[in-house]
Chain A
Amino acid sequence: MMATIKQVCRHVRSKNAGPFWVTIDLFFDGPENYRRYADSSALGPELMQRLYGADPRLVRRYPVPKLHMVKISYARTSVQGGEVERDMHCGQQYVRLLDVELDV
């Protein structure tokens, strides 16, 4: 069964984790969708590479069962505040994830 991230998460956010990393938190809407989609292959390093240009070797994924959430962190591709900065705190980066389809 396919579902988009915004259909199965109650909250999604992104933020700098220090000047060199970005961290994304996907809070699923409950235990059922967490169990179903937390391990989805669509949430792999390739997704971060496609959406953010991230180096797949510098992508980390942490399921947190107690909170029904998955954290994905990746190394920033351009330095915070550099010449081409468009999102200083990376607080808007999560939006590109919302329509990503997850497979079971």
Chain B
Amino acid sequence: MPTEITRIDGPIRIFVPTGSLGAGAREEEIEEAIARGAHAIATDAGSTDSGAAYLALGISKNNRGSVKRDLTLLMKAAAKARIPLIVGSCGQAGGDANVDWTKAIALEVAAELGLRPRIAVLYSEQSKETLKARNAAGKIRALPPLGALDDATIDSCDHIVAVMGPEPYIAALEAGADIVLGGRTTDTAVLSCYALMKGAPAGASWHAAKVAECGAQCTTNPTAAAGVLISIDADGFEVQTLAPANHCNPHSVSAHMLYENSNPFLLAEPGGVLDVTEADYTALDPRRVRVTGSVWRPQPYTMKLEGAGRGRYQTLMLIGIQDPDILARVEEFHDKMLAALYERTRKTIGPAAGDFHISLRMYGWNAVSGDKPPPGTPAPREIGVLFVATADTQEMATQIAKACNPYFFHFPLDLDKELPSHAFAFSPADIERGPVYEFKLNHVIEVEDPLELVRTEWLDLRERP
């Protein structure tokens, strides 16, 4: 029983070439997807998953060459097949600087290939003034675990983006864009926008996009492939693998809804919620799974805000230790050395060190958890000890590291023995790491119009001489 009124005659096929632009699209999959009648190529190019630094600094996580390589393959294929290329969350964080970085690469590729596409560039970075005004008007609300937003938190961010839905992409495509390069957008909006524009059912379009958001990760052999083809029709959607050796099945497809999502059944999007509680997954053949029963529940339109800012500064040092006597009593060694480093800093720098912090992370023992391993845990063969000093300025963090250097280098297990020399990995020993970067916002902003916080720039290369 169709639950939504739709206006499509046949399936809408979206080729998702890779989980993230620059991860490595595959030429044979591109050819296969075009041969199977893909109507659009869509890929996401970022995530918050690797931390706030990429938004705070406006830099990409991927190297320029790999992004250029993927853009070259995809722009060439899209132009040849005369289908649109849609890229969202450009440059990892989707801030204006991240988008401009990607735009410059796309323009370089177009010039090299002799292509003259109409490119729409969507920006969604927000000024602090806009957000303060909207917050004062009660239009911004917190998501757990954070509380109500204040001006000081807004001011603590270096860059803030509003996460776009599909509407700005649809507007750009309807206005004739061959290529859309978008700032920060939900992964699913980037992959569903074309099908939604064509009138495909919303539940199937959003669910298909969620399944395909990481490319071939919804397949049984994600290392043998990069992309997938999703095909949305009036009653549901299909997921198809493209690499000849790769398969997918109801388990691999349904399990992807769980990935990096706190709720396995519901996915909140700018204009509603995807509900897959009643979704049904059927294997059509070893390379195709059909999904029905996905439901879209429209809600008042909100855009999530992501804001990144810098915190205090850190300086690092790294030593290795193989001394079996130390490793047999490694917890005792750690506690004694940490106390000695704090004392050394207080004595040599004094109150000027401020509210500094030192941590010693013993790789090979308990660095990841920081917990004490249970009694009886065998001594490791060697450990790496990462020294992390945190202070209000980079200079002070480094002064603390330098003050601690001789103790970190020579600290003994028992004070009555000759001083050991632990194995420094580098000289100079201290490495300035810069500030820590943190996401400061977990809030949504209510908007009347999905485009009101979005700016669209057009680059019409047909007009170039």
A interface vs B, CB < 8 Å?
A: 15-21, 23, 25, 27, 55, 58, 60, 62, 64, 66-67, 69, 71, 73, 75-76, 79-89, 92, 95-96
From B49, B357, B370, B439, give the contact of A79 (CB < 8 A): B439
On chain A, the residues within 8 Å of B146 by CB distance are: 20
How many Å lie between the Cα of A17 and that of B442 in the bound state? 12
Q: Does B390 belong to the interface (CB within 8 Å)?
A: yes
- In the complex, chain B residues 205-242 whose Cβ is within 8 Å of any chain A Cβ: none
Residue from A58, A66, A73, A83 within 8 A of B254 (CB atoms): A66
B437 surroundings in chain A (CB, below 8 A): 81
CA distance A62 to B437 in the complex (A): 32
CA distance A15 to B438 in the complex (A): 17
Across-interface contacts of B259 in A (CB, < 8 A): 15
Contacts A82-B438, A83-B312 given; indicate if A55 touches B145 (C-beta within 8 A): yes
* Interface bits B351-363 vs A (CB < 8 Å: 1, else 0): 0000001010100
Determine the distance from Cα of A101 to Cα of B145 in the docked complex, in whole angstroms: 29
Given contacts A67-B255, A83-B390, contact A89 B264 (CB under 8 A): no
CA distance A76 to B442 in the complex (A): 13
CB-CB < 8 A to B50: which residues of A? 88-89
Assuming A19-B442, A58-B144, is B368 touching A73 (CB within 8 A)? no
Interface presence of B377 (CB below 8 A):
no
Chain A residues whose C-beta falls within 8 Å of the C-beta of B390 in the assembled complex: 83
Asked if residues A75 and B251 are in contact (CB atoms below 8 Å), the reply is no
On chain B, the residues within 8 Å of A92 by CB distance are: 368-369
In the assembled complex, which residues on chain A have CB atoms less than 8 Å from the CB atom of B263? 60, 62, 71, 73
A64 touches which one: B48, B258, B359, B442 (CB < 8 A)? B258
Please report the total number of B residues contacting A with Cβ < 8 Å. 38
Most chain A beta carbons < 10 A, residue from B52, B265, B369: B369
A82 near B255: Cβ-Cβ < 8 Å: no
A18-B442, A62-B263, A71-B258 in contact; A81/B251 too (CB < 8 A)?
Answer: no
Q: List 5 A-B contacts (CB under 8 A).
A: A15-B260, A16-B49, A23-B260, A81-B438, A83-B311
Chain A residues in 8 Å Cβ range of B369? 86, 92, 95-96
Q: Please, how many angstroms separate the alpha-carbon atoms of A27 and B436 in the complex?
A: 35
Taking a contact as CB atoms under 8 Å apart, the answer to whether A18 and B438 are in contact is: no
Least CB distance, B369 to chain A, in whole angstroms: 6
**Cross-chain contact B359 with A19 (CB below 8 angstroms):** no
Min CB distance B280 to A, Å, is 9
Q: Are A86 and B258 in contact (CB under 8 A)?
A: no
Tell me, yes or no, whether B53 is within 8 Å of chain A by CB.
yes
Q: Are A19 and B144 in contact (CB under 8 A)?
A: no
Q: Does B79 contact A (CB under 8 A)?
A: no
Whether A88 contacts B51 by the Cβ 8 Å rule is yes
Given contacts A19-B442, A81-B437, A83-B390, contact A58 B145 (CB under 8 A): yes
Q: Quote the shortest CB–CB distance from B274 to chain A (angstroms).
A: 15
Q: Is the CB of B52 within 8 A of A81?
A: yes
Asked if B427 is at the interface of the complex by the 8 Å CB criterion, the answer is no
A79 to B51, CA, bound (A): 10
CB proximity of B311 to chain A, nearest CB, Å: 7
What separation, in Å, do the CA atoms of A69 and B371 have in the docked complex? Answer: 28
Contacts of A95 in B (CB 8 A): 368-369
Distance in angstroms from A66 CB to nearest chain B CB is 7
In the complex, what residue of chain A is closest to B438 when comparing beta carbons?
A: A79
Contact A21 B48 (CB under 8 A): no
Which chain A positions have C-beta within 8 A of B49?
A: 15-16, 89
Q: Cα distance A100–B260 when bound, in Å?
A: 23
B348 within 8 A of A: no
Decide if B53 touches A19 in the complex (CB within 8 Å): no
**B398 interfacial by beta-carbon distance below 8 Å:** no
List of B residues within 8 angstroms of A64 by Cβ? 258, 264-265
Determine if B20 is an interface residue (Cβ-Cβ < 8 Å).
no
CA distance A69 to B261 in the complex (A): 14
The answer to whether B359 and A62 touch across the interface, beta carbons within 8 angstroms, is no
Are A82 and B262 neighbours in the complex by a CB distance under 8 Å? no
B418 to chain A, nearest CB (A): 33
